[in-house]
Every structure is written in structure tokens, then in C-alpha cells.
Amino acid sequence: MAVIDVRGLRKVYGGRPVVDGVSFSVEDGEIFGILGPNGAGKTTTVESIAGLRRPDGGSISVAGLDPTKEDPAFREAVGVQLQEARLPEKQTVAEALELYSSFYAQPRDWRELAERLGLIEQRNTYFGRLSGGQKQRLSVALALIGNPRVAILDELTTGLDPAARREVWGLLEDLRGTGVTLLLVSHFMEEAERLCDRVIVIDHGRVIAADTPESLAAGVVADQRMSFVPSAAVDLSRLKDLPDVRTVASSGDRVVVTGTENVAAAVVIALHERGIQAFHLRVDQPNLDDAFIALTHHDDHAASTDPPADPPADPVAVGSGMRTGALR
């Protein structure tokens, strides 16, 4: 059963459609991601779903309710974590959680929630004194305090250092299977890959792709890329002649080869035949980042603001350093 159903959503600002016919539905208990570059219309979309913006067209139903009515039953059912929403500087974590739990019919136990979010130590700390990660976790806690059926989390890890980001992800993974449906907005592909059951990619106010993160990544025609340090000098032109190889380059000791998905095996076998060993071997496979870039950078560079600023590292083989090549 779809707990969120969006049909033909439109929102126009100053004559310019920011959201232009977005449709999707989210099943009960799913973790659903909305991806897209900055300015693509993600926040407008979720703020409409959260009942904070009035759509200019289309229909939205969340847990069977109409968000534009903003009635208390809707607020009970939907927890929201917003970008740029703060608390009074001198409110402590415990006070905020206690206050917010008083608004709901069946709130979660805020102590347990604080414990789970690693905020229990900070319970008597003023909001103004919390670190960025702690503020975000408190923000997530406030979105969940009312025991919502749906929690909407907008850019919840933006501005967090990698350690804090992983902490927040860990929390959301814990929520999987507790029945709460999560709607996640992100421009971190790694986040979506790790957490989401399904994603849509929005660009220029339209849905340009909808799938599971894996299928989306797999659907991208992108080269495999491998690199290694050979134990002896290698004839690069020989490697280039291999059927699976498309490009060969070297930088310092390191040789970088791209090609089909068999390229790694083909190169290692070819080297082996010549008695050469490949040290520090790295193989990167296309990930959601590549899919994202391939999807959103096909036409122009107007929207090319920021693919993730810091390198999400997920090589399949050795090491953890190299990022998938700039496949644009």
C-alpha cells in the first residue's frame, strides 16, 4: 500500500516551474530517496509533501491525508526534519525533546530516543552549544519523537563531517523494519546507495529516473577503471591492443587502464603471461555517483553545481582511496 502518493506535482515561483509534474509513490516501510543536484526542486517537492508549501498543481496524499489541509492528524502522522530550522539557543536537548513530545498523542520515550541517537550525554547542553552532528541528530530525534508513520528528512547529513554522517546513517539503518517510512532528500549518492530501497532522481523539476540504487547504477554505461603499479616495465601499447581495453595511461609508477567490465581480469592475465605482477591493484566499478552524473549532466552544465564534494570511496578491490574516474 502506498503511504505517500504524489501525482503530477507542480509548483511555480515567479512564472518559472520549480517542480514540473513530479509523480511517485512510496510503499509503507520503505526508505525512499529523492536525489538531484542543487536547485533541482527536491526541497520544494518534500516541503509540499510535508504540507509547508501549497502546490500549484497535482495531488499529494500522505497516509491517506491531504497535506494542504495541515490538520493535526496529518501532523501526528508525519515527522519532518527541515533544512535551516533551529531551536532557541538556550534550550537544552532534554527540554526540546520533552516539549516536542508533549505535542503528540503517542510520543516515543524521549530518553530512549536520545540514548539511541547518542544524545543522552548532551541532554543538558544548550542547543547553541551542540556540534553540527549533534544538532542534526537532535533534528532527527524531533522528527521521530511523535512516532510518525512517515518521516521526511531533508539533507540530513549535509554539513556533517564523515564520521558524524556515518553515525546518522547508522541510526536510519536501525529504523529500517520498525515500520516507519522514510523519505530522504539527498545529494550524497553514497547516502542513497547505503540506505534507500528505491530512489528517484529529479532534475529541473522533473523526475528523470526512478529505480533501486543498484539498478540505477548498473544501468549506466560507464567504463570500468583499474590501476596498478607493475613489478617491471610494461609495454603500454601491448595492453592497449587487448580487446577489453579502451584507454591506457600512466602517471608516475602507476598505470591506469579503462575498458569493459572484464578489463581487470584481462589486464591481470596479460601481465601474468609476461611474468609481471600488479601491485596496489585498484578496481572501481560504476556507482550511483556515476549514474547521477550521467543522468544530470547530459545536456548542459547549468546544473553541474556539485556532485558530492568529498570523494565517496568504494572500490571493490584493494585499498580504499581512488575514486571512480571523472566520467562525464
Partner 1 sequence: MSVTTPDLVAGASLGNRSRTADAMRAMLKSEARLLARNPGVVVWSVVLPVAAAIVLACIPAIRRPSEDYGGLSFFHVYQPILILFAVTLLAVQALPDVLTRYREMGVLKRLRTTPASPALLLSAQLALTLLVSIGCTVLMTVVPALVGASWPRNVAGFALAYLLAAWALLGLGLLIASLFRNARVAAGLGTLLFFVLEFFAGLWLQRPNMPAWLRHISDFTPSGAGTQALTDSAVGHWPQLLHLVVLAAWGAAMSTASVRLFSWE
- The site map against partner 1 for 79-108 (x = CB under 8 A) is xx-x-xxxxx-xx---x--xxx-xxxx---
Q: Please, what's the largest Cα pairwise distance for the chain?
A: 73
3-state helix, strand, coil in the chain (%, to 5): 30, 30, 40
Q: What is the DSSP letter of 235?
A: -
Q: Does 180 bind partner 1 (CB under 8 A)?
A: no
Report in angstroms how near the CB of residue 64 gets to partner 1 at its nearest: 16
Shortest distance, CB of residue 151 to partner 1, whole angstroms?
10
Q: Cα(93)–Cα(120) distance, rounded to whole angstroms?
A: 9
- Which CA distances in Å does 178 have to 155, 171, 173, 174, 181? 22, 12, 10, 8, 9
Q: Minimum CB separation from partner 1 for residue 61, in Å?
A: 18
Distance CA 222, CA 179 (A): 36
DSSP string, 170-233: HHHHHHTTSS-EEEEEES-HHHHHHH-SEEEEEETTEEEEEE-HHHHHHTS---EEEEEEESS-
Least Cβ distance, residue 18 to partner 1 (angstroms): 17
Strand ranges (DSSP E) for 252-299?
A: 254-259, 278-284
**What strands lie across the sheet with 150-154, from one edge to the other?**
78-81, 150-154, 181-186, 31-35, 198-203, 206-211
Shorter beta-carbon distance to partner 1: residue 47 or 190: 47
Count of positions (residues) in the chain: 328
The footprint of partner 1 on residues 53-72 (CB under 8 A) is 71-72
Among 24, 40, 55, 76, binds partner 1 (CB under 8 A): 76
Give 51 or 315: the residue with its C-beta nearer to partner 1: 51
Which residue, 138 or 291, has its beta carbon nearer to partner 1?
Answer: 138
CB of 318 to partner 1, least distance (A): 46
Please state the φ and ψ torsions of residue 237, each to the nearest 5 degrees: -65, -30
CB 162 within 8 A of CB 310: yes
Size of the site for partner 1 (CB under 8 A): 29
Site for partner 1 in 30-49 (CB under 8 A): none
Contact track, partner 1, 127-166, x by CB under 8 A? ---------------xx--x--------------------
Instruction: Report, in Å, the least distance between residue 177 CB and partner 1.
Output: 24
Q: Which is nearer to partner 1, 147 or 157 (CB)?
A: 147
Tell which residue, 310, 321, 254, 252, has the closest CA to residue 284. Answer: 321
Q: How far is the CB of 113 from partner 1 (least distance, A)?
A: 15
SS3 call for 24: strand
Q: Site for partner 1 (CB under 8 A): which residue of 78, 93, 200, 263?
A: 78
Instruction: Give contact residues for partner 1 (rule: CB under 8 A).
Output: 50, 52, 71-73, 75-76, 78-80, 82, 84-88, 90-91, 95, 98-100, 102-105, 142-143, 146
